[in-house]
Amino acid sequence: MSESAPQNFIRALIQEDLAADKHGGKVVTRFPPEPNGYLHIGHAKSICLNFGIARDIPGAVCHLRFDDTNPLTEDTEYVSSIQEDVRWLGFEWADKLFYASDYFERIYQFAEELISQGKAYVCSLTEAQVKEYRGSITEPGRPSPDRDRPVAENLDLFRRMRAGEFKDGELVLRAKIDLGAANMKLRDPAIYRIRHTHHHRTLDKWCIYPLYDFTHCLSDSLEHITHSLCTLEFESARALYDWVLDTLDVPSRPHQFEFAKLGLNYTVLSKRNLRAMVTEGIVLGWDDPRMPTLSGLRRRGYTPSAIRSFCERIGVAKSNSTAELSLLEHCVREDLSPEVPRVLAVLEPLLVTITNYPEGKTEQLTASSFPEDVPKTGSRQLPFSRQLYIDGDDFREDPPQKYHRLAPGREVRLRHAYVIRCDEVKKDATGRVVELLCHYDPDTLQGPPADGRKIPGTIHWVSQAHALPAEVRLYERLFSVEDPTNGDFRDYLNSDSLLVRRGYVEPSVAALPSDTRYQFERLGFFWQDPIDSKPGALVFNRVVSLKDSWSKIVESQTQGQSGVQALHQERRRARDEQKSLQAALQKAKPVELDEAARRYHEAQGLPVAQAVTLSGNMALAAFFDTASAGASGDALLRGALANWVVTEVARELKEGTLKFNPKQLLSLVEMTLAEKITARAAKDVFAEMARSGEAPEAVVSRLGLEQVSDSATLQPIVDEVLAALPDKVAAYRSGNQNLLGLFMGQVMKRAQGADPKVLGQLLKKSLEG
C-alpha cells in the first residue's frame, strides 16, 4: 500500500490476511450495484473503498458486477449510467465487468445440488403464510407442510418451475436450514422465486430468478472474490452467506465484511426516494444538480477528486453515522479554489453611468486571474467603459453605518479598475432605482488615491457593452432540515433550492473551454451547465457558494478550541432551528424518570435520553458505571463516555459479547478528549477494539493514528514549505495575513495527522522570525 493511502479497519484487515497468506496473496474486491437507479454519493463511498483497495494494493483487483436478479426494476439505462459514473469518479475495471445474470445457469445447478443434498425444498405456502410460519424473535418457526418432501419430488417440481408450469408466487424454493435459529435469516429462507418477466439481459430465457442472498455469495465465489465488502444492514445475512458456501462445493471461499453506510445530513440517499423525486417531478431528473446522485453532482460542477477526497475524509468505520454536507461542500471548494480563474459576473444588474468618462471609449485593463494566495498565475483583459453593471445588492440608498459598498455620496473601488463616487440616483415611475450616475477618479487605476483617503470597499462589475448575458442558476440544499428521512421527505423540501438569475459575465469567459470552472468573485464557484448552456445563450450553475462553515470548524480548532467542541457547537447551531420548530408544534411533555435514571441525570449530569437508555439496560449501565468510576468527577469525560456507551457499546452488545473492557473504552475516550487522536481516528480505533479486543493505545500506534504535536518533527516540514514559497512568504511579511491559510494547507498536506494548534503556532513564529 502506498504511504498516502487512507487507513481504515477494512484495509487493516486485508493487510492481516495478506500477511497470513490467507488467499494465496490475492486480493479481489467487487462493487455490486443493482441496475435499478442512478448511483449516489453513498455508492461513491463503496466505490472508493473497493476500487481504492485495488488501486493501492499491488496486484489487487476490483470487479464491477451488476447484481441484476430482479427483472421487475432493472433497466439497461441504469447499466450504462452506472458505468459512466464509476469511470467519471476515476476508476477502471478493464475486463472485469460481470453480471450476476451471466451465472443464472450455474446458480441453478447449485440449487439442484442443494435439493439433492436434502437441503432445499419446493414450498407451496403463500408469501404471507411463509412469513407467519417463520415465527418471531421470541417464538421458533413452524415447519412448512412441504418441508419433508422427498428429494426426487423436489427436483421434479423445481425443474417444472423452470419450465414455466407454475404462476408467479405459486411455489418457491427454500433452503432447509434451522427453524429455531435466533437469526431469522436462517429460518428456511427462500432462494428462488417465479417471475414471468422479461429480463434486460437474459430476455425471456428464465421465469425463475435466484434471490439476492443465494446469488451474491455464489457470484462472489465464481469470481474468486476474496473480500466481499457490504454495508451494515447485511450483517445478519452473513450467516446465510457462510452457510451456502460451506454447504455447496464452490470454486473459492470469499468472506463478507460489513462497514457503515454513508448518511449525509440535509440529504436523502435511498434509491427508492430518489426515484420518487424524479417521477413526481420534485426535481428535473436523476441528473438535476440538486440531486446527491453522481450524475447530479457532475452536472452541478463537482469534480471527481473532490468526491474522492470527501470519501477519504469521512473514512470507513463499523458504526453508522451521518456525515456533514458542509464537509462535502468544503471538499469541492478546497479542490477548486487554488485552481480556477476568477472572473467578474453580476447577477442582479444595476446600470452605472460614469459621467466623466468619455463616451465611446474602451480601455482594456489587465487583471490577474488568480489572487495572491493561490499558487497559479495568469491574467486576462477586462474592458472598461462609460456604462457598467454592478450588482443591485452592492448599492443602498439608505446605507447602515458599516456599509462599505456604494451609496449616494460614497466611494467604492471597482475591482481591478477605478474608484467611483455615486452622485445621483435615477428611479422609474414606481420608485425603483434604475441607474446610478457616478464619477470616477482617473488617478486610482489599480492603486490607492494619491491623497491617501481610505476606500473601504471593493465591488465587482462588468462593462455593459461588452458583458455576455447569462442565466445563472443558484442551488441550495434540497431539504431544509438536517434529517429529511425522519418522516416524509416531501414535508421538508426547501422551496428556495433553485433560484434563477438573469445576469452578465465578463467577456473573457467566451475564450475559455466550455467546461472551465470559475470563481465569480464574491459570489461562488460556477461552471456552464453542460446540457443547457450554448454559445450565445450561456447558462451557469453555481457549484458551491463561498461561505464555508466547515472551515470555521477547522479554524476554531487552530485557535485553541477543541475540534470536538467546535464540531458539536456547529451542529447545535444547525439543529436549533429544527428544534424550536418542533417545540412549537408539540409542547414538550415532562419525562418521568425512575430512580436510576434520575441518578444518571441529576447526580451525574447526563442528558435525559442517555440517562433513560442506561437505566433501562443493566449490561450497559454496569459497563458505564465501571468505566466512569475511573473518570473521577470529570463531567466532560463522563459525558463523552456515556455517549460512546449508549451508541457504540450498545451496538456491539447487541451483536454478542464484548471483546473489550470498560477501562479500554475509558482510555480511548481520554485519548480523544486530550486530542492525542482525532475524533475520526477514534472511530477506527473503536472498530479495531471491538473486533479484536486490542488495547486502544496499541491500535493507535500500530495504525499510526497519533496526532503529531511535537515541534521537532513538525518544524522541518514548516521550513520546507516556507522555503518553497518565497514570494508568498514575502507577501505575508508585508502584510497579507490571509496567506496563513495557504501555508497551513500546504503543511497539513505534508504532515498527516499533525496537530493543527501546534502547527499554527510554529507557522506564525517562523513567518514572524
Binding site residues, ligand ATP, CB under 6 A:
32-34, 42-43, 45-46, 230-231, 261-262, 269-271
Question: Among ligand ATP, Mg ion, none, what does residue 261 contact (CB within 5–8 Å per kind)?
Answer: ligand ATP
Write the interaction track for Mg ion spanning residues 28-67; mark x where CB under 5 A is met and - where it is not. ------x---------------------------------
Question: Among ligand ATP, Mg ion, none, what does residue 539 contact (CB within 5–8 Å per kind)?
Answer: none
Report the C-alpha gap between 533 and 468 in whole angstroms.
13
Determine how many CB atoms are found less than 10 A away from the CB of residue 224. 15
Question: Among ligand ATP, Mg ion, none, what does residue 304 contact (CB within 5–8 Å per kind)?
Answer: none
Least separation in angstroms between CB 465 and ligand ATP: 51
SS3 content of the chain, % helix, strand, coil (to 5): 45, 20, 40
The torsion defined by the Cα of 407, 409, 411 and 417, in degrees rounded to 10, comes to 90
- Cβ contacts of 159 within 8 Å, gap of 6 or more: none
The torsion defined by the Cα of 254, 255, 257 and 261, in degrees rounded to 10, comes to 40
Determine how many CB atoms are found less than 10 A away from the CB of residue 219. 27
Nearer to Mg ion, 270 or 711 (CB): 270
At 420, which helix (H) or strand (E)?
A: strand 419-427
Residue nearest to Mg ion (CB): 34
Query: DSSP for 84-150?
Result: HHHHHHT---TT-EEEGGGGHHHHHHHHHHHHHTT-EEEE---HHHHHHHT--SSS-----TTTT--
Judge whether 638 and 623 are in contact, CB under 8 Å: no
Nearer to ligand ATP, 32 or 696 (CB): 32
Nearer to ligand ATP, 11 or 386 (CB): 11
Question: Among ligand ATP, Mg ion, none, what does residue 319 contact (CB within 5–8 Å per kind)?
Answer: none
Question: Among Mg ion, ligand ATP, none, what does residue 271 contact (CB within 5–8 Å per kind)?
Answer: ligand ATP
Least separation in angstroms between CB 67 and Mg ion: 7
Judge whether 489 and 466 are in contact, CB under 8 Å: no
Assign residue 478 a region (left: φ > 0; alpha: ψ between -120 and 50; beta: otherwise): alpha
Nearer to ligand ATP, 46 or 528 (CB): 46
Report the C-alpha gap between 87 and 314 in whole angstroms.
21
Question: Among ligand ATP, Mg ion, none, what does residue 43 contact (CB within 5–8 Å per kind)?
Answer: ligand ATP
Nearer to Mg ion, 34 or 363 (CB): 34
Nearer to ligand ATP, 32 or 341 (CB): 32
Question: Among Mg ion, ligand ATP, none, what does residue 301 contact (CB within 5–8 Å per kind)?
Answer: none
Least separation in angstroms between CB 184 and ligand ATP: 20
Least separation in angstroms between CB 185 and Mg ion: 16
Determine how many CB atoms are found less than 10 A away from the CB of residue 376. 12
Least separation in angstroms between CB 321 and Mg ion: 21
Nearer to ligand ATP, 45 or 380 (CB): 45
Report the C-alpha gap between 560 and 755 in whole angstroms.
11
- Strand ranges (E), 491-537: 498-505, 517-520, 524-528
Nearer to ligand ATP, 34 or 363 (CB): 34
CA distances from 145 to 124, 125, 254 (A): 8, 8, 35
Report the C-alpha gap between 526 and 539 in whole angstroms.
10
Least separation in angstroms between CB 34 and Mg ion: 5
Question: Among ligand ATP, Mg ion, none, what does residue 33 contact (CB within 5–8 Å per kind)?
Answer: ligand ATP
Question: Among Mg ion, ligand ATP, none, what does residue 42 contact (CB within 5–8 Å per kind)?
Answer: ligand ATP
Nearer to Mg ion, 36 or 545 (CB): 36
Nearer to ligand ATP, 49 or 120 (CB): 49
Least separation in angstroms between CB 249 and Mg ion: 28
Least separation in angstroms between CB 251 and ligand ATP: 22
Measured CA angle at 718 (ends 713, 723), to 5 deg:
135
Q: In this structure, which amino acid lies at residue 129?
A: Q
Cell of 117: 443434498
Question: Among ligand ATP, Mg ion, none, what does residue 134 contact (CB within 5–8 Å per kind)?
Answer: none
Question: Among Mg ion, ligand ATP, none, what does residue 270 contact (CB within 5–8 Å per kind)?
Answer: ligand ATP
Question: Among ligand ATP, Mg ion, none, what does residue 262 contact (CB within 5–8 Å per kind)?
Answer: ligand ATP
What residues between 5 and 34 interact with Mg ion by CB under 5 A? Answer: 34
Nearer to ligand ATP, 270 or 464 (CB): 270
Least separation in angstroms between CB 230 and ligand ATP: 5
Least separation in angstroms between CB 482 and Mg ion: 25
Which residue is it, cell 450554448?
534
Residue nearest to ligand ATP (CB): 42
Determine how many CB atoms are found less than 10 A away from the CB of residue 733. 11
Least separation in angstroms between CB 49 and ligand ATP: 8
Nearer to ligand ATP, 78 or 732 (CB): 78
- Cβ contacts of 451 within 8 Å, gap of 6 or more: none
Least separation in angstroms between CB 687 and ligand ATP: 15
Cα–Cα nearest to 294, from 599, 45, 551, 491:
45
Count residues binding Mg ion (CB under 5 A).
Answer: 1
Query: Which parts of this chain interact with Mg ion (CB under 5 A)?
Result: 34
